[in-house]
Amino acid sequence: MHWADVESSDLPPEPLIATGITPSGPIHLGSLREILTGDAIRRASESGELLYIADTIDPLRRVYPFLNDSYEKYVRMPLSSIPCPCGSHESYADHYLEPFLETMDSLGIDCSVRYTHKMYAEGLYEDAVRKLIESKDKVVQVLTELTGRTLEGSWYPYNPRCSSCGLLGTADVISFEDPFVHYRCSCGNEGMADIRTDDGKLPWRCDWPARWWILGVDCEPLGKDHAASGGSWDTGIKIIKDIFGTSPPHPIVYEWIQLKGKGVMSSSTGVAIKGEDMIAMVEPEVVRFLLMKTKPQSHIDFDPGLPLLDLVEEYDQTEMRYYDGELEDDQKRVYELSQIDGIPEYPPRRVPYRHLVNLVQIYEDVDDMWEISVGDEYGPDDYERLNKRVEKVRYWIDNYAPGFVKFSIKREMPEVSFDEDEISFIEKYLSSIKDLDGWSDDILHSLVHSTAEEVGIQKGKAFGIFYRMILGQKRGPKLGRFLMQLDRRFLLQRMKETLEK
RNA sequence: GGGCCUGUAGCUCAGCCAGGUAGAGCGAUCGGCUCUUAACCGAUCGGCCGGGGGUUCGAAUCCCCUCAGGCCCGCCA
């Protein structure tokens, strides 16, 4: 049974699944794992709802490396109240959230988005805050017991936001006169926070169980950092049981995704691939595939370089086998859970990604590529799919491909020279193919061998001639196939030109 | 010190939850083809399932112990 089906069998038929993020920086593939894990569970359940809770009231922790120094003054201010870094979004939080929400949409994730600053502003937290404040001693006891630390005397299960400086966590609570929390801020301001509004927030360890209680959460994927003993998951369980009197959600602990050779993905260190980047380099189905085929508790070493091609190829192959009926149940399920918008009625035909890496560098224009190279083998229905994949391949080549896969056809004769042997090779080869009717990969390829033998030069040298003449570099794509992709007149013309020099 | 996860073919992993003849992809080798790469097709090679013990007619799978690796564990989230 697929992991998503196993997990959902432990849940009520219509579970409420919650996941969340603090949008303090670019949102990366690791966060995609959280929401996609939730999405898989939702799909595996008969029906149910998936929530994406953006912790927008959370304060900016520090000036991250990707921010400029002007953000110093916003440290400790809620992300929803900080100006957008680029100026075109409503807030700092939206700046990072918006592209990610678009990515989630492209991935076919059906969820409703909640913003914690709005949840507080709408008064959703009122009862929870009151309960926690009234049970303060009990809360302190839980946190002390489970975390093994002692809380400061000034600790309070509610952090007011100072009405003067706008910062969170800088005020000491003096008293609670329902529904107002009286506080004194380190900036000198004294004020009152209304727990029915977003005048303040709960500290994380209280906020999390409060959410479960308020929303009635049945299931929540959580990163392994939360799951460590004495962590916020442990304390959350105890708080929801003892203070709110209900049960905690069913947890699904997921492992981190590492960037091959660079360590764990993390927004704050910049070791990360943004969600947007993922769907820019491969189809969204492939992104889902990566996460659906891997159990949440296994860590993933993601390598966006050459191994990315293996991933795409594996997806294509799984897809073909799905329609051939060759897949085992689990693999079938992986394929189904990887789809964006239902399972295609007919098997989608895709030009192999690996092959496109070459074609894309030969043809600037997709229509030329279609016309000259792939159109014969594929039908009109495949054109749109090709077009999309070509965009992905281009993005990959520009951003993640290793240098040796890159080349460009030189429209003008490159600055290269050839010795006598090479010239006579070109002459012989040219005269062989000039009047040849049936060009094919094999013929062009084996002709290189036979011609090289006739002229008496090394074969490696013979192959190199073409790359130097056409690409201006020593190596290039597999030759027979490559020459076939070129415009025939261009190839002949280039060879003649070389001889004339 | 505590927690979670992972050790299965050269590499990446599936199989473990519901015990019943050890799998896939990639790589390698060979052939197709006197044949560069990052293509294709076919075949072959490759593993006392980290180690030890237990349960069982039977263990990669369940239980206990052990070794190795990864990550997490002040506050905050």
pLDDT at A1: 78
A311 CA to B16 C1', in Å? 25
**Residue A370 pLDDT > 80:** no
Name the nearest CA neighbour of A95 among A141, A60, A134: A60
- Per-residue model confidence (pLDDT) at position A175: 94
Q: Is the distance between the Cβ of A477 and the closest atom of strand B smaller than 7 Å?
A: yes
pLDDT per residue over A68-95, tens digit each? 899 999 999 999 999 999 999 999 999 9
Token readout for A490 is 């261009």
Positions 223-282 of A with beta carbon below 7 A from strand B are: 224-232, 253, 255-256, 258, 263-264
- E-assigned strands of A96-161? 112-115, 159-160
Question: pLDDT tens-digit profile of A330-345?
Answer: 888 888 999 998 888 8
Using alpha carbons, select from A206, A203, A201 the residue that is nearest to residue A237. A206
Residue A496 is predicted with a pLDDT of 86
Distance CA A498, CA A414 (A): 10
**Kindly report the CA angle at A403 between A400 and A406, in degrees rounded to 5?**
95
DSSP 3-state assignment of A18? Answer: strand
Q: Which amino acid is at A360?
A: V
pLDDT in the model for residue A270: 64
Round and report the angstrom distance from CA (A121) to C1' (B65): 55
Phi first, then psi: give them for residue A53, nearest 5 degrees. -100, 115
**Would you say the C-beta of A154 is within 7 Å of strand B?**
no
Boundaries of every domain in chain A: 3-125+203-264, 420-500
Q: Distance between CA A26 and CA A220 in Å, rounded?
A: 22
User: For residue A176, what is the enclosing H or E element?
Assistant: strand A171-177
Which distant-in-sequence residues (6+ apart) come within 8 Å of A465 by Cβ?
Answer: A418, A422, A425, A426
In tens, the pLDDT along A97-152 reads: 999 999 999 999 999 999 999 999 999 999 999 999 999 999 999 998 888 788 88
The nt closest to A483 (CA vs C1′) is B39
For A287, the token pair is 């992104």
| pLDDT for res A246 | 92
Q: In what order do the strands lie in the sheet with A300-302?
A: A263-264, A257-259, A300-302
Residue pLDDT, tens place only, A418-466? 888 888 888 888 888 877 766 777 777 778 877 887 777 777 778 888 8
Q: Which band of pLDDT confidence, cut at 50, 70 and 90, is reported for residue A182?
A: very high
Residues 12-41/A with CB within 7 Å of nucleic chain B are 22
* A207 has pLDDT over 80: yes
**What pLDDT score does A330 carry?**
81
Burial class (CB in 10 A: 0-12, 13-18, 19+), A140: middle
**Structure-block tokens of residue A118:** 């709005």
Q: Is ipTM strictly over 0.95?
A: no
**Portion of chain A with pLDDT greater than 90, in percent:** 41
Class of domain A3-125+203-264: alpha beta
Q: What is the pLDDT of residue A2?
A: 85
Specify the pairing of strand A171-177 against strand A180-185. antiparallel
**CATH code, residues A420-500:** 1.10.10.350
Q: Does residue A193 contact residue A124 with C-beta atoms inside 8 Å?
A: no
Structure tokens at A20: 């969340």
d(CA A353, CA A405): 13
CA-CA distance, A117 to A114, in Å (whole number)? 9
CA of residue A38 to C1' of nucleotide B15, angstroms: 25
Average pLDDT, chain A: 87
Query: Is the pLDDT reported for residue A350 higher than 80?
Result: yes
CB-to-strand B under 7 Å, chain A 73-132: none
Number of continuous H segments (helices) and E segments (strands) in chain A: 21, 13
Question: What is the model's pLDDT at position A18?
Answer: 94
Banded model confidence at residue A409, pLDDT cuts 50, 70, 90: confident
Give the closest residue to B2 (Cα–C1′).
Answer: A229
Q: What is the pLDDT of residues A35-57, one digit of tens each?
A: 999 999 999 888 899 999 999 99
More confident of the two residues A363 and A94: A94
- Find, among A47, A31, A50, A37, the residue nearest to A7 by Cα: A37
Tokens of A47: 């029906």
Contact, A46 vs A69, CB < 8 A? no
Contact A318, A332 (CB under 8 A): no
A474 vs A361, more confident: A361
Give the 3-state secondary structure percentages of chain A, helix then strand then coil, rounded to 5. 50, 15, 35
Q: Say what the pLDDT of residue A5 is.
A: 86
Which residue would you say has higher pLDDT here, A211 or A302? A211
Q: Are A150 and A168 in contact (CB under 8 A)?
A: no
pLDDT confidence of A271, banded at 50, 70, 90?
A: low
- Could you check: is the Cβ of residue A55 within 7 Å of any atom of nucleic acid strand B? yes
A203 pLDDT more than 90: yes
DSSP string, A401-452: S-GGG-----SSPPS----HHHHHHHHHHHHHHHT-S---HHHHHHHHHHHH
Residue A478 has pLDDT above 80, yes or no: no
- Please compute the mean of the pLDDT values over residues A293-304 and round it to a whole number: 85
Mean pLDDT on A179-206: 94
End-to-end CA distance of chain A: 67
The nucleotide minimizing the C1' distance to residue A355's CA is B39
Per-residue pLDDT, A204? 93
**A12: preceding bond cis by omega (within 30 degrees):** no
Tell me what the mean pLDDT of segment A364-387 comes to: 77
